[in-house]
Chains A and B, each alone.
Chain A
Amino acid sequence: MAHPSVAPVSGPAIKVPAVEIPTIPLLQLGTWVVFYGLLAMLAIFFVSADQGAISLPAGNAVHEWVHDARHLLGYPCH
């Protein structure tokens, strides 16, 4: 990357094993981040906040079912 370039050493070239780690193009990754990110946030929403501050669906079944996880994972519960 931005490493200072080193003058080539004279003499027989020693083949240095390539330590270059392949990277993933960020544009290609972006699609995955958007779609998976929405899915992950939906899952986290149901465990962390549903039927507390916002209710989808109405009632308390989701809240009651994940009640202990909400407390112990540190989310505001009630």
Chain B
Amino acid sequence: MSKVNPGRKPALTPAAFLVRGLVAGLLAGLVAFGVAFALGEPHVDHAIGLEEAAAEHLTPEEVAAEEAAAAEPGMVEISRENQKSFGLLTGTAAVGTALGGLTALAAAAVVGRLGRLSARGSTLLVAGIGFVAVALVPFVKYPATPPAVGDPETISDRTAEYFALVLISVLAAIGAVVVGRRLLGRFDGVDAGLIAAGGFVAVVSAAGLLLPSVNEVGAFPADLLWQFRRSSILTLASLWATIAVILTVLVGRLHDAVTADAQRRALAAGL
């Protein structure tokens, strides 16, 4: 990366950030797949086993209704082997790539604008905020649920509430960065960051208290629920950690190349 490349001038552009974010995100999706497959799938299988055991006690009318629903056009049955391998990989890779690109564009917005924080520091901070705002805050209020937990009647409400909290959390995080930056003139960088973080926690706590709670676990085994949820948050953490590390390295190297190029040009102009 730092080699002299006379034909191309390295530049900090939105496209340069986005490409690096997509690469980091795709790799993060692969890592998250590995973590989800190794840690999460045993619990998903266990939960599906409980679901199927419960289905043996359905009345003939309920069985008939399920069979009629499955016979409607567009309904398919996908094997567990495909769901837990290629299906899971499709999901983690798509979400990882999408989030990697978004993180990179957010990093592009703040690099050079957060006081004396370096390009690497800013990128790492943005990815950390991304994990907290997009994954951790929604998880604390609406934790992941395994198969067999959750009432299908309420899926629309639960989906709307979940994404409402994601939206509030992301907007609060953006607001916290803007406010923290304004405080930089009056406070030390760390102090400004802590005040902004406090504001973020206050806003998402208020949102968490105001949004309705979900109580649909029923008689599902508590151990299995905890193990599933732990594997879910570890999957999300591995996704964001990979985005953070790879994007920080790639943006840092790009920044080094841009700086070296600018210094070379300044030196050449001064000769």
Q: Which residue on chain A has the smallest CB distance to residue B143?
A: A74
**Which chain A positions have C-beta within 8 A of B235?**
72-73
B76 CB-CB contact with A under 8 Å: yes
B14 touches A32 (CB 8 A): yes
**Which chain A positions have C-beta within 8 A of B231?**
72
Q: Classify chain B: how many residues form its interface, as a range.
A: 35 or more
B175 CB-CB contact with A under 8 Å: no
Q: Count contacts on A: residues with CB < 8 A to the other chain.
A: 50
Instruction: From B112, B152, B233, B255, give the contact of A74 (CB < 8 A).
Output: B233
B77 CB-CB contact with A under 8 Å: yes
List the count of A-B residue pairs having beta carbons below 8 Å apart.
Answer: 184
B203 CB-CB contact with A under 8 Å: no
How distant is the Cα of A26 from the Cα of B229 in the complex, in angstroms? 38
How distant is the Cα of A61 from the Cα of B87 in the complex, in angstroms? 11
> With contacts A60-B76, A68-B44 known, is A76 near B159, CB below 8 A?
yes
Chain B residues 1 to 31 lying within 8 A of chain A, measured CB to CB, are: 12-15, 17-18
**Could you say which of B56-64, B114-122, B218-226, B242-250 contacts chain A?**
B114-122
Instruction: From A37, A65, A75, give the contact of B87 (CB < 8 A).
Output: A65
Chain B residues 195 to 236 lying within 8 A of chain A, measured CB to CB, are: 228, 231-233, 235-236
Chain B residues 144 to 164 lying within 8 A of chain A, measured CB to CB, are: 144-147, 150, 152, 155-156, 158-160, 162-163
For B91-120 the 0/1 string (1 means CB < 8 A from A) is: 110110111011001001101110110110
Q: How far is the CB of B151 from chain A (nearest CB, A)?
A: 9
How distant is the Cα of A39 from the Cα of B12 in the complex, in angstroms? 22
How distant is the Cα of A59 from the Cα of B150 in the complex, in angstroms? 20
A36 touches B135 (CB 8 A): no
> With contacts A40-B98, A76-B142 known, is A57 near B232, CB below 8 A?
no
> With contacts A1-B115, A2-B184, A43-B97 known, is A71 near B236, CB below 8 A?
no
A11 CB-CB contact with B under 8 Å: no
A24 touches B152 (CB 8 A): no
**Which chain A positions have C-beta within 8 A of B18?**
32, 36
B139 touches A48 (CB 8 A): no
B40 CB-CB contact with A under 8 Å: yes
The listed residue with most A CB atoms (<10 A of its CB), out of B82, B163, B258, is B163
How distant is the Cα of A47 from the Cα of B92 in the complex, in angstroms? 8
Q: How far is the CB of B251 from chain A (nearest CB, A)?
A: 11
**Which chain B positions have C-beta within 8 A of A76?**
142, 145, 150, 155, 158-159, 162
Could you list 23 A-B pairs, sorted by A, with CB under 8 Å?
A24-B14, A24-B109, A26-B109, A29-B105, A40-B101, A43-B97, A43-B98, A57-B74, A58-B74, A60-B75, A65-B82, A67-B78, A68-B36, A68-B84, A68-B88, A71-B40, A71-B145, A72-B232, A72-B235, A73-B92, A73-B95, A74-B139, A78-B147
